[in-house]
Amino acid sequence: MNTFGAVVTTVDDAEGHPVIELDDVSKSYPGGVAALRSVDMVVDYGELLAIVGPSGSGKSTMLNLIGTLDRPSTGTVRIDGYDVASLSDRQLSALRSRRVGFVFQHFHLAAGRDALGNVADGLLYSGASKRDREQRAEAALVRVGLSERLTHRPYQLSGGERQRVALARAVAGDPPLLLADEPTGNLDSVSGAGVMRLLHELHEAGTTILVITHDREIADSLPRQVRMRDGQVV
């Protein structure tokens, strides 16, 4: 299958296309819930933006579409220049493993693996060797300030530390796009501030970052805000 043809010409040029492009995107779930309605949005490389809005307004739904974890009902989603609709499951998986990092509210760390293992396993699908994965995992953990916690299991870490491990896992493969769904939702304000500071640093290093948050202060501290209501960007 040749699905590259249409995009190959633009992909070598980072400035040629935005990192995220939603064009008239709708998503409805079985049962008639219209979670997203006709959303248009463009995010350029290097942006740091907050997605805010009331509960149920479609923020997570939109982030999942951007992260290629789900496909839109109608409309076009372009990530890193690729039209998601034209890619197979394998190609989408490859795109996620190389170009997108995720941070979740509930961390999603493996209880049986220490911090280093959790981060290194995040690179499992990139094709890197075990040695390479561990080296990069260690570097990522050092970057998030957890060099003293490499061999700690998740239960031995505080909530803020767990989220930093999850963040290290998301960025260990140097994805140009980082998606964070309420990364501070389960953290106290100090830990939350620590995580946000790391996101700022990554942004300064060139990563494009989208953060869903309910925290006004956090949202206002970011360069751009996208406000959502009833499945629409307002």
Among 40, 85, 206, 224, binds another protein (CB under 8 A): 206
Under the criterion CB under 5 A, does residue 68 sit at the interface with Mg ion?
Answer: no
Among 18, 58, 72, 122, binds another protein (CB under 8 A): 122
- 157 vs 234, beta carbon nearer another protein: 157
Amino acid letter at 60? Answer: S
Amino acid letter at 87? Answer: L
Bridge partners of 77?
22
The CA-based angle 149-50-201, given to 5 degrees, is 40
Which residue lies nearest Mg ion, judged by its C-beta?
60
The Cα–Cα gap between 88 and 128 comes to 22
The Cα–Cα gap between 74 and 77 comes to 9
- 130 vs 229, beta carbon nearer ligand ATP: 229
What residues contact 29, with CB distance under 8 A and at least 6 apart? 35
Under the criterion CB under 8 A, does residue 210 sit at the interface with another protein?
Answer: no
* Residue found under tokens 């989220």: 163
Under the criterion CB under 6 A, does residue 35 sit at the interface with ligand ATP?
Answer: yes
Element (H, E) at 225: strand 224-229
Among another protein, Mg ion, ligand ATP, none, residue 108 binds (CB under 5-8 Å by kind): another protein
The Cα–Cα gap between 153 and 115 comes to 6
Taking alpha carbons only, the member of 122, 144, 140 closest to residue 198 is 144
Applying CB under 6 A, which part among 42-50, 54-62, 140-148, 169-177 lies near ligand ATP? Answer: 54-62
Q: Quote the least distance from Cβ 64 to Mg ion, whole Å.
A: 9
* Residue found under tokens 């990522």: 140
Among 53, 75, 154, 194, binds another protein (CB under 8 A): 194
Residues 126-145, mask of contacts with Mg ion (x by CB under 5 A): --------------------
The whole-angstrom distance between residue 160's C-alpha and the CA centroid of its chain comes to 18
Under the criterion CB under 8 A, does residue 99 sit at the interface with another protein?
Answer: yes
Under the criterion CB under 6 A, does residue 58 sit at the interface with ligand ATP?
Answer: yes
What are the residues binding Mg ion (CB under 5 A)? 60
Question: Which residues here bind ligand ATP, judged by CB under 6 A?
Answer: 29, 31, 33, 35, 53, 55-61
